[in-house]
Amino acid sequence: MTSPVSTDTVPPQLSSAQRPAQGPAADEGLARRLRALACTAPLHDLDVRKANLAGEYSVYGMAEVALAAIDLITLNMDFDTGADHDQIVARLIPRIAAQAPRRPVAEHERVARWVLENLINVGSVDRGFRAVYGTFAPDGSYVRRDYDFKLIEEVPGHGGSVYLRTTDEAVNVLVGALDTDVTSAQIAAEVKLEVLISRGRLADAQLAAEQARYRTVQYSETLRRALDATRRNVRAVDWLQAVPDMIAEALDHVADRYRHENAILTNIRKARDESEDPEQKRRAAELVEIVKDCIRRHTQLQSRLLEAGPLFRAEQDRQAFATPMTTSGIDLYGHLVAPVLPLPLEQSLRVTDAFFARGTGFRTPASVRVGDLVDLLLTPPMEREHLGAEMPEPDLIATPDDSRFSEEQLAVAMDLLDLPADAPRRLSGLLADARRQDPELPYLVALLAVHAASPPVGTAYRQGEERLLFAVDDGVELDDPEFGGADLIVGMALLDVAGMAAGRTEAA
Amino acid sequence: MSDHVEWSEPEAVASPVSAAVTPADTADAARLVAFGLQPKLQPARDQEYAELLRRYREDPPFARLADAVATGLGLVVLEVSPRAGMAVTAAEDSVFAVRMGDYARRASADSGDRFLHGLAHLAVAALAFPRPEDLADDGYIGRVSVNGVDAFVRQACRRLEERAEEQGENTDPATDAPGLETAWRIWARRSSAGATKDARRLAGSTTGIVGKAAAFLTDSGFLQRTGDDAGGTYRTTARYQLQVRDMAGSAALAELLELGVVPVTDGTASLLPADGTDDLELAADAGLPFHS
């Protein structure tokens, strides 16, 4: 994989003297960080793009809603499936409502759905995100690479429903660097929790409990995948030692955690009941819920572990003790699937195409008989009943023209105000002129003059107009039978059309 | 397989009888092929079909005639037996052949989609016949589910991803060379399901693609739907086993060998990679979701 920018475009002495990077090893760390950075981009993007939504949504903190959503989904991910879409929306709404309490609930729901859909990235085929970053290949050439990732993925559930799960990337974005052993991290979190509770620092304890719960969810997720994998493939697994060891280890772990969490639960309950401070009481009650949830998850995990043994034995019976057959020579996974997956797309396509062409069977081509065709074409179309009642002809009422001034009046007024650039006039004089032509006209002239006091310079600049009417107040009072205020100086300014045009193209 | 009619073998026996072929025999032979063209029709359910099959097996000149009719139509006879019926399939470039462009419209434009559809068919077969013995055993009935096939491919992809990571490879493809992207990544990055407005399966998701493959194979008389669990469960038919064993598997393998990839196995099942501890490491380093 070399980039099109090969080294021969650079003078040779430069490429050797000024190596752009210290080498692929240093570059790898950079690539890792670039990818981590890319995972946060969709969240920032939400706050940038909220301006494009129809309506006023700047009051909502979209990144906050997004993080809360990832949080909720992570905590609601069940052993088998994931979090329910509607449930997540429902739980997000209180937080969104707190951000803009006066807005309607429908709008809050719309925000929740918008954030969720954008985290899934519904618009794309992959339903994921892609970031492009550059690295240096071992030969020193610069290669742009695509990094594909997802934050929330949709997984099939029972009965064709779709559930949400947070991906590894999302969990990393949410909880930070998690490059640690899950087991030890969980023990650490729980020790911390116990210490905090024994010292009565419940605020910190709550944080620690929530962290412990993340660890618990991660642990079940890991084991779920491991069990799925071992269950699918009995024979490549060391059933004699490794699997029973693993299950025993996991059961020990569950028992250990169960004991710990029950101890914690007793402690917090005591703290809850003994505490006088209502805030402390509330905190402790929340903690009880969190730890209960941890225990529930561990119980679930344990029942899974207990089921695994009989399942292995049944599969073992089915697969290993059948009478040996003569083999046909083709092992579809080992000979085809496994070797194809690591190939580049161009090559693997040839194999899958060959399999598709011969593995799908045949289709009998449809042919039409003229007799049928004639019948088909002459059959009158079915009467459709579901179109509903006929629309009544709308009864339109002509609205009377209630404009204050007529078109002619406007034309006369504009004519009056079409002053030579070097001869501005007082408003009083203009009003007197107008009054001579039409008693209504002074009102229109006064209105236009007042508007000209704040001339639309920006619009004129953009549209490249040559002249612009303006009005200035120099402190002289207006002496008029109908109007009061300042006797404005009304004039016509000439604009530098060529200069403006040049300025516009520069700006563009 | 003993029912397979070899062209060269009955030559000597057949020549004196060939004079006896009547238009009625030809009509019967063509009728048998026509039965074979209805892949979902079971010989046990149709007396005439069963009778013609019996005649094919007992009357070599009639068998030759039926084979000739099939060949002339652009069909390949895989097996003629009471269990599979007159199992025929389309020869290359035959009017009966299925083309990828007709199968999935997007696939003709997007090579990634074309690969996904092809791999879905390959994966359905691999999971339906997980061991070489299963493919060879005429009595074996494979069972697959749509979600199971997707999970199985995903797991294989994940294993490759982990292996690449262990070796410190950067598998992100170069932006200007999408054809060099490794195949497993294409499956891995496509979402496995997706919510749609009308609560149907998202066609572009991998379960949608596998579901399409399973439905298509059902229409081909290769699978029978047995339930709705796990995205739809299916069992294989004798025809599917023949098709995969005698046609698709060898064709794909030949293509692979032409690419210079020689898969080496010891003849035992390798649905799991050879070093058996692989899956346990999955659990042990716990890292699946949280690797660096």
From the list B137, B265, B280, the residue facing A325 with the nearest CB is B137
Determine which of B1, B229, B256 to mutate to test the interface with A (most A C-beta atoms within 10 Å). B256
| Residue A103 or residue A501, greater confidence | A103
Show the CA angle centred on residue A407, arms to residues A405 and A410, nearest 5°.
70
Query: Predicted confidence band at A14 (pLDDT cuts at 50, 70, 90)?
Result: very low
Matching residue, tokens 């063209």: B37
From the list A333, A359, A364, the residue facing B243 with the nearest CB is A359
Q: Are A346 and B179 an interchain contact pair (Cβ–Cβ within 8 Å)? A: yes
The alpha-carbon radius of gyration of chain B (Å, integer) is: 23
Is B52 within 8 Å of B31 (Cβ atoms)? Answer: yes
| Residue A41 or residue A179, greater confidence | A41
DSSP codes, A295-314: HHHHHHHHHHHHHHHHHHHH
Assess if residue B281 is contained within a domain: no
Assess if residue B279 is contained within a domain: no
Chain B residue numbers with beta carbons less than 8 Å from the beta carbon of A246 are 280, 283-284
The structural domain count of chain B equals 2
A217-231, A486-500, B13-27, B73-87: lowest mean pLDDT where? A217-231
Average pLDDT over residues B81-100: 84
pLDDT of residue A207: 66
Specify whether B75 is located in the same domain as B112: no
From the list B247, B263, B273, the residue facing A358 with the nearest CB is B247
Give the closest-approach CA distance of B16 to chain A in angstroms.
35
Rounded Cα gap, residues A151 and A262, in angstroms: 34
Give the closest-approach CA distance of A60 to chain B in angstroms.
25
Rounded Cα gap, residues A276 and A273, in angstroms: 8
Rounded Cα gap, residues B195 and B216, in angstroms: 22
Specify whether B76 is located in the same domain as B166: no
Specify whether B51 is located in the same domain as B190: no
Specify whether B108 is located in the same domain as B230: yes
Chain B residue numbers with beta carbons less than 8 Å from the beta carbon of A336 are 122, 126, 249, 252-253, 256, 263
pLDDT of residue B207: 85
Chain A residue numbers with beta carbons less than 8 Å from the beta carbon of B247 are 358-359
Q: What count of Cα atoms within 13 Å lies in the side-chain half-sphere of residue A137? A: 17
Give the closest-approach CA distance of B131 to chain A in angstroms.
6
Query: Predicted confidence band at A239 (pLDDT cuts at 50, 70, 90)?
Result: low
Q: Give tens-digit pLDDT for A373-402.
A: 888 888 887 776 666 777 778 788 777 777
Residue-averaged pLDDT of chain B: 75
Query: Predicted confidence band at A227 (pLDDT cuts at 50, 70, 90)?
Result: low
Assess if residue B44 is contained within a domain: yes
pLDDT of residue A503: 66
Specify whether B238 is located in the same domain as B211: yes
Tokens of A134: 């550059």
pLDDT of residue B14: 43
Chain B residue numbers with beta carbons less than 8 Å from the beta carbon of A225 are 282, 288
Query: Predicted confidence band at A17 (pLDDT cuts at 50, 70, 90)?
Result: very low
Please tell me which residue of chain A has the smallest CA distance to B261. Answer: A339
Average pLDDT over residues A78-82: 62
Chain A residue numbers with beta carbons less than 8 Å from the beta carbon of B151 are 228, 232
Chain A residue numbers with beta carbons less than 8 Å from the beta carbon of B115 are 345, 348-349, 352
For residue A270, pLDDT beyond 60: yes
Judged on CB neighbours under 10 Å (0-12, 13-18, 19+), A193 is buried
Query: Predicted confidence band at B77 (pLDDT cuts at 50, 70, 90)?
Result: confident
Rounded Cα gap, residues A176 and A257, in angstroms: 24
From the list A1, A183, A348, the residue facing B115 with the nearest CB is A348
Specify whether B106 is located in the same domain as B86: no
pLDDT of residue A7: 40
Chain A residue numbers with beta carbons less than 8 Å from the beta carbon of B271 are 232-233, 235-236, 333-334
Specify whether B57 is located in the same domain as B180: no
Assess if residue B52 is contained within a domain: yes
Is A404 within 8 Å of A467 (Cβ atoms)? Answer: no
Specify whether B125 is located in the same domain as B246: yes
A383-403 in b/e burial notation, b at 16+ Cβ within 10 A? eeeeeeeeeeeeeeeeeeeee
Average pLDDT over residues A329-337: 78
Please tell me which residue of chain A has the smallest CA distance to B135. Answer: A328
Q: Give tens-digit pLDDT for A46-78.
A: 888 887 777 788 888 888 888 888 888 877 776
Specify whether B118 is located in the same domain as B184: yes
**A136 phi, psi to nearest 5 deg:** -95, 130
Specify whether B152 is located in the same domain as B215: yes
For residue A441, pLDDT beyond 80: yes
Rounded Cα gap, residues B119 and A381, in angstroms: 43
pLDDT of residue A198: 57
Q: Give tens-digit pLDDT for B175-231.
A: 777 777 788 888 888 887 777 766 677 778 888 888 888 988 898 888 888 887 778
From the list A122, A233, A339, the residue facing B279 with the nearest CB is A233
Specify whether B206 is located in the same domain as B259: yes
Chain B residue numbers with beta carbons less than 8 Å from the beta carbon of A223 are 283
Specify whether B247 is located in the same domain as B145: yes
User: Domain residues for B40?
Assistant: 11-90
Determine which of A142, A345, A364 to mutate to test the interface with B (most B C-beta atoms within 10 Å). A345
First to last CA, chain A: 38
Q: Are B289 and A356 an interchain contact pair (Cβ–Cβ within 8 Å)? A: no
Percent pLDDT > 90 in chain B is 0
